[in-house]
Chain A
């Protein structure tokens, strides 16, 4: 565990020593801020119209404001997470520091977990930024906090799943750009995998729907912790880390 923390600490440090962390967090704050203003403007308009006896019958901050915001947030992560994971292994392989890690008295698993936790920590910082936005809603209104808490749990699992796949892809190449592009493509595929489901009959449709990344997030955002979704994300993370371990080991044999 001490080794894991050493690796994770170094990862996190290097995100903040390079411009990566600032660029990623900065742009995330900017884009999310714009979404926030957009959704809030729309919400206020709806509210005004309701006051004039038009528009929707009822308005709920959780349903009409927080939920669309959280779903939009995942789109931003689709673009930003590959930037976080693409360098994890590629950079070490390119600069030769992989040789240091693999000849140190630490296991492959400790390295993988360290890198995973490092990336997850940076992702958590990004999530933490949104606490400000939602905090303002609590300041001025009275939304429910429980669905928001489960939503954060869901987002954490969702990000962790993507990070585990990103780690695996980064471990396949020494070229960061290739890793980043491939990671983005795979993320996008997992995102829209349920679109093609209906073309292959009802069985395939349910399979593809199950595999879709975002489908499992919705219940968390609604405030429901369903073991089905927990199992999905956790097994996804384990699978991603397992693939990374295999990849690192295979690389060793091939030299």
Chain B
């Protein structure tokens, strides 16, 4: 549905986006993840035809955004970082205006407006001036605006920025509901958001793509040896000794010891699942097993390791 090939955008000598390529399939939610200033907004602006690229191609819904901008724009809905509202218009007037310029046929306008207002839960604010809306409602009207012409592609720039936790959850649910009918690209610098809403993630840093994968694969890929976390009731020295006897254990490290209660981090050989053996060893030695769970690298850690590995020296300067 979206195809970006070797996209580069330079402002003078500054390269905001550097040779970025990725694809988004129909109905998919792609997360665009990166620190502030990584080039997320620039990439999205190129995709929506707001700014032209210096080099490379972007094809949205089968239309090149440079050669056929109007065709591409007709099939793209875009929510910029700040919702583009006219403060003096009411929500209804605003959506009517947007429907007109997005090319919604006069006959369908009313039904479309009703539909998107219902979808984004802004119906009760229909006659309120956009300038007097709360941040959450502004964001939702922004989303309604992006949906009004029923576009194939939805591009959302930080859709949850500045919302309160309840609104964030609602927005995420809304975005998930929209997937399927629409192909969605959303950007964020909040990692759990990606893990919760997106099927695939593009991690971008300093204008370059550092990784493209599913959230699960990303975390898996970066896990070195498998690490398990145990909490055991028993004398730490004896427990450590018992754990070390289990075949396949590489390293045992005790932590947080309070008398008889301690946590242990256990590194195992790669690809071996030692959970059963460890549980048997602990229980068999007469200790109490309180907790046993695999430790995964969180997306935060993946993200940090991906974005800082590149050039630690530069990071220190920044």
Query: What residues make up the interface of A, taking CB atoms closer than 8 Å to B?
Result: 2-3, 6-7, 9-10, 13-14, 17-18, 95-107, 252-255
18 examples of A-B residue contacts, CB within 8 angstroms: A10-B97, A14-B89, A17-B88, A95-B85, A95-B87, A99-B45, A99-B80, A100-B78, A103-B78, A105-B103, A106-B101, A107-B70, A252-B51, A252-B52, A255-B9, A255-B11, A255-B45, A255-B51
Proximity bits, B90-111, A CB within 8 Å = 1, else 0: 0001000110111100000000
CA distance A101 to B49 in the complex (A): 11
B48 within 8 A of A: yes
Please state if A100 and B103 are interface contacts (CB–CB under 8 Å): no
CA distance A100 to B103 in the complex (A): 13
- Point out the residues of chain B lying under 8 angstroms from A103, CB to CB: 48-50, 73, 76, 78
Chain B: residues with Cβ within 8 Å of the partner, total of 32
Q: How many A-B residue pairs have CB under 8 A?
A: 76
CA distance A3 to B99 in the complex (A): 10
Given A96-B84, A99-B80, A105-B70, verify A3-B50 contact (CB < 8 Å).
no
- Point out the residues of chain A lying under 8 angstroms from B145, CB to CB: 100
Chain A nearest CB, measured from B55 CB (Å)? 13
CA distance A61 to B86 in the complex (A): 47
Chain A nearest CB, measured from B78 CB (Å)? 5
B217 within 8 A of A: no
Q: A97-B84, A103-B48 are in contact. List 15 more A-B contacts (CB 8 A).
A: A6-B100, A10-B97, A14-B86, A95-B84, A95-B85, A97-B85, A99-B80, A103-B73, A104-B98, A104-B101, A105-B71, A105-B73, A106-B70, A252-B52, A255-B9
- Point out the residues of chain B lying under 8 angstroms from A97, CB to CB: 84-86
- Point out the residues of chain A lying under 8 angstroms from B42, CB to CB: 255
B275 within 8 A of A: no
B82 within 8 A of A: yes
Please state if A105 and B11 are interface contacts (CB–CB under 8 Å): no
Proximity bits, B267-292, A CB within 8 Å = 1, else 0: 00000000000000000000000000
Chain A residue nearest to B142 (CB atoms) is A100
Given A103-B73, A104-B102, A105-B103, verify A13-B89 contact (CB < 8 Å).
yes
Chain B nearest CB, measured from A84 CB (Å)? 16
